[in-house]
């Protein structure tokens, strides 16, 4: 399996052109959504949050989910991550169903790592213990956990902060730690719900670059929820546009810009065209 | 910033002795210049003498031990029962709803008025004082724990759920550590209330403890001793409070209430 992660990213920003077989060709399907529906029973009747969502995501692929607030993108991600059962439909990760009715299948979810909008680090653990929490829950011994946390600190650029507490870190650094935590059990799928939404624009740009190199280094399949179209295009292999009421997939746009992408990519005509196209589509629906 | 923080850290160590000296000065002034009667307000030095004399007597220490025992046992019982009950009520919203009116009713009763009843039920010995300490210390602890159990961060819960954490792991790594600051907030109030409970209990019945010593020196119109006992009580209360906050420093060093000081 492709879960062999490169633990150390090439000590910097430039050298991220890791050869990634999954991107050169089409890998096998890693994550499959078929006929996913979600209906909430609200006080004023039924609210259809998601309607008939179908999507196949290949191994190592980076998918961005964009849409206005209320289009169900977070709902979709929570269904994928085992936090919210779908009303109907199926979600499978490498052939294993994530949901059995409304019960989560913990075994299938072992392959999934999760990053939220808030870092959600535990203030009573230092960074090392926060990062290795998923390993602790799996019964990995203390020494191995510390070693893995050190590796991951290296990967996300938190070297030297292993013993620090979350309150001593900036917002961007906390979010790096949250990403490291999600990666600690070597999941093949990484789900991210607007992970940089609470960060300032400069930090956000930097984090996007780093996420790109982390993606390259780990080869993980990523589903990334955002409301920023340019962020979505910058990161993704495919951008999935969702429209609200009921939440459904409106379009899937492939982004074939060369990697690694940089500030130059964002200045390119091709990039601008894709962003404009998506923006027009988003405006049309309202 | 750093400099200001440094000043904030050391300021109490300088200001507190100054305030103490000022307090003693005003006191002495009231006695020697204004001429307040010795029976109402003995001079600080007289109280000091009385205090030193008392500390030499083994009988005083016996009283201190009795009060200390009542307070500590009452506090520990209140801590255990308050934490357990707070955790249960925090979990079961319906149960909390059901017993809330009764709790409020019990809370607004001036519990000091119950001391005579406890004396009837539990006698003039230490038991009635311990019960009083428990009853006073129990409520702030329980209410804080109840709040703490309800205040576990939703995002944190999502993390544990996302990781498929077991009930036990969720308790160990999330619920317990996030409730600890609330337990300590309750304990800080609880220890003070436990002292009050024990002392008030001793006021009203029995022949032991610092509360009894207050009443007996009042009956013999021995103002210097009365003041000296109050000083001992103040020191005892401060030390107990200090013990709780020190425990907090060691057990939850990560919490804002500790880290920002």
Sign, Cα dihedral of B108, B111, B112, B117: positive
Residue B244: pLDDT band by 50, 70, 90 thresholds?
very high
Whether residue B113 is found in the same domain as residue B219? yes
Closest residue of chain B to A82, computed from CA coordinates: B162
Pick the more confident residue, B53 or A18: B53
Provide the pLDDT for residue A237.
94
- Secondary structure (3-state) at A253: strand
Could A82 and B159 be called an inter-chain contact, meaning their C-beta atoms sit closer than 8 Å?
Answer: no
What residues have CB less than 8 Å from A152, skipping those under 6 apart?
A7, A131, A158, A180, A183, A184
Query: Quick one: B59 and B80 in the same domain?
Result: yes
Q: Are residues B105 and B133 in the same domain?
A: yes
For residue B176, what are the CA distances in angstroms to A127, B169, B189? 19, 10, 20
A182-219 core/surface letters (b: 16 or more CB in 10 A; e: else): bbbbbbbbbbbbbbbbebeeebbbebbbbbbbbbbbbb
Q: Is A259 helix (H, G, I), strand (E, B) or coil?
A: coil
* B76 touching chain A per CB within 8 A: no
Question: Do B10 and B138 belong together in one domain?
Answer: no
Same domain, B26 and B109: no
pLDDT per residue over B180-209, tens digit each? 999 999 999 999 999 999 999 998 878 899
- Regarding whether B22 and B142 lie in a shared domain, the answer is no
Give B217's contacts (C-beta < 8 A, 6+ positions apart).
Answer: B223, B225, B226, B229
Q: Which residues in chain A are contacts of B183 at CB distance < 8 A?
A: none
Question: Do B27 and B45 lie in a common domain?
Answer: no
Contact A134, A91 (CB under 8 A): no
Q: Are residues B16 and B110 in the same domain?
A: no
The Cα B35–Cα B46 span in angstroms is 15
- Inter-chain CB proximity A120 and B156 less than 8 Å: yes
B178/A16: higher pLDDT: B178
From first to last of its 286 residues, chain A has per-residue pLDDT tens of 334 443 443 343 333 334 444 444 557 888 999 989 998 887 878 888 898 999 999 999 999 999 888 788 889 999 999 999 999 999 999 888 999 888 888 888 889 999 999 999 999 999 999 999 999 999 999 999 999 999 999 988 899 999 999 999 998 899 999 999 999 999 999 999 999 988 888 888 888 999 999 999 888 999 999 989 999 999 999 999 998 888 889 999 999 888 889 888 989 999 999 999 999 998 887 5
How far B174 CA sits from the closest chain A CA (Å)?
8
CB pair distance less than 8 Å for A124 and B254: yes
Strands A45-58, A29-42: parallel, antiparallel or unpaired by DSSP? antiparallel
- Put simply, the chain B residues between 109 and 168 with a CB less than 8 A from any chain A CB are 153, 155-156, 158-159, 161-166
Q: Do B163 and A137 touch (CB under 8 A)?
A: yes
Shared domain check, B169 and B193: yes
Cα B253 from Cα B261, distance rounded (Å): 11
Q: How far is residue B134's CA from residue B193's CA, in Å, rounded to a whole number? A: 9
CB contact under 8 A, A83 and B159: no
Kindly give the interhelix angle for B58-91 and B223-251, rounded to the nearest 10 degrees: 40
Same domain? For B93 and B128 the reply is yes
What H or E segment, with its residue span, contains residue A177? Answer: helix A171-183
Mutate to test the interface with A, among B154, B161, B163 (most CBs of A within 10 A): B163
Q: Transcribe A191-240 into DSSP letters.
A: EEESTTTTS-HHHHHHHHHHHHHHHHHH--EEEEE-S-HHHHHHH-SEEE
Picking from A109, A117, A121, A124 by the largest number of B CB atoms within 10 A of its own CB, the best residue to mutate is A124
CB A47 within 8 A of CB A39: yes
Please answer yes or no on whether A124 and B256 come within 8 Å at the CB atom. no
State the pLDDT at residue B3: 47
| Rounded Cα–Cα distance for residues A238 and A235 (Å) | 9
- How close B17 gets to chain A, by Cα (Å)? 34
- For residue A104, which residues of chain B lie inside 8 Å, CB to CB? 164
Boundaries of domain holding B156: 39-259
Same domain, B124 and B249: yes
Secondary structure (3-state) at A258: coil
pLDDT score recorded for residue B205: 79
Q: Does A137 touch chain B (CB under 8 A)?
A: yes
B155 vs A118: CB contact, 8 Å cut-off?
A: yes
Q: Which residues, 6+ apart, have CB-to-CB distance to A212 below 8 Å?
A: A16, A235, A259, A260, A261
CA A94 and chain centroid, separation: 17
pLDDT at A203: 87
- Amino acid A286: pLDDT: 59
Query: Coil, helix or strand for A70?
Result: coil
Which residues on B lie below 8 Å from A123 (Cβ)? 254-255
Interatomic CA distance for residues B83 and B3, integer angstroms: 40
Across all residues in chain B, what is the average pLDDT?
89
Q: Is A164 on the interface with B (CB under 8 A)?
A: no
Q: Among all residues of chain A, which has the CA nearest to that of B175?
A: A122
Residue-wise pLDDT for B114-152, tens only, equals 888 888 899 888 999 999 999 999 999 999 999 999 999
| ipTM value greater than 0.85 | no
């Amino acid at each position: 399996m492709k879960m062999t992660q490169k633990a150390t990213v090439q000590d910097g920003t430039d050298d991220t052109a890791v050869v990634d077989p999954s991107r050169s060709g089409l890998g096998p399907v890693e994550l499959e959504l078929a006929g996913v529906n979600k209906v909430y029973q609200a006080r004023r009747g039924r609210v259809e949050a998601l309607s008939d969502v179908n999507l196949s995501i290949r191994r190592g692929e980076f998918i961005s989910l964009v849409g206005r607030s209320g289009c169900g993108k977070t709902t979709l991600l929570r269904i994928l991550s085992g936090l919210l059962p779908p009303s109907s439909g199926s979600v499978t990760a490498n052939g294993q169903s994530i949901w059995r009715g409304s019960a989560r299948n913990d075994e299938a979810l072992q392959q999934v790592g999760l990053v939220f909008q808030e870092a959600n680090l535990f203030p009573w653990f230092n960074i090392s213990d926060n990062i290795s929490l998923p390993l602790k829950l799996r019964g990995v011994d203390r020494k191995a956990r510390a070693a893995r946390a050190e590796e991951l600190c290296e990967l996300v650029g938190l070297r030297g902060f292993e013993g620090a507490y979350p309150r001593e870190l900036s917002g961007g650094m906390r979010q790096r730690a949250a990403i490291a935590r999600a990666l600690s059990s070597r999941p093949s799928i990484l789900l991210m719900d607007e992970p940089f939404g609470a960060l300032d624009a400069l930090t956000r740009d930097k984090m996007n670059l780093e996420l790109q190199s982390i993606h390259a280094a780990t080869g993980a399949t990523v589903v990334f929820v955002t409301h920023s179209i340019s962020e979505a295009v910058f990161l993704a292999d495919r951008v999935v546009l969702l429209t609200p009421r009921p939440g459904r997939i409106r379009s899937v746009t492939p982004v074939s810009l060369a990697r690694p992408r940089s500030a130059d990519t964002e200045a390119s005509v091709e990039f601008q065209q894709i962003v404009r196209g998506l923006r027009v589509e988003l405006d049309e629906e309202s | 910033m750093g400099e200001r923080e440094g000043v904030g850290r050391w300021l109490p160590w300088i200001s507190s002795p100054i305030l103490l000296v000022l307090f003693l000065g005003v006191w002495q002034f009231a006695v020697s210049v204004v001429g307040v009667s010795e029976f109402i307000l003995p001079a600080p030095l007289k109280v000091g003498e009385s205090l030193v004399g008392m500390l030499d007597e083994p009988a005083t220490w016996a009283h201190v031990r009795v009060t200390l025992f009542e307070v500590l046992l009452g506090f520990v019982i209140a801590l255990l029962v308050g934490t357990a009950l707070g955790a249960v009520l925090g979990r079961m919203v319906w149960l909390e709803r059901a017993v809330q009116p009764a709790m409020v009713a019990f809370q607004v009763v001036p519990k000091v008025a119950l001391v005579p009843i406890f004396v009837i039920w539990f006698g003039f010995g230490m038991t009635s004082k311990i019960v009083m300490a428990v009853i006073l210390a129990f409520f702030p602890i329980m209410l804080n724990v109840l709040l703490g159990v309800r205040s576990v961060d939703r995002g944190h819960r999502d993390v544990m759920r996302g990781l498929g954490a077991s009930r036990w792991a969720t308790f160990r790594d999330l619920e317990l550590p996030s409730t600890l600051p609330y337990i300590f907030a309750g304990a800080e109030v609880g220890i003070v209330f436990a002292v009050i409970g024990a002392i008030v209990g001793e006021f009203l019945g029995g022949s032991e403890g610092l509360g009894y010593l207050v009443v007996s020196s009042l009956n013999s119109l021995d103002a210097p001793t009365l003041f000296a006992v109050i000083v001992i009580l103040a020191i005892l209360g401060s030390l107990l409070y200090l013990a709780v906050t020190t425990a907090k420093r060691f057990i939850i060093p990560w919490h804002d209430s500790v880290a920002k000081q």
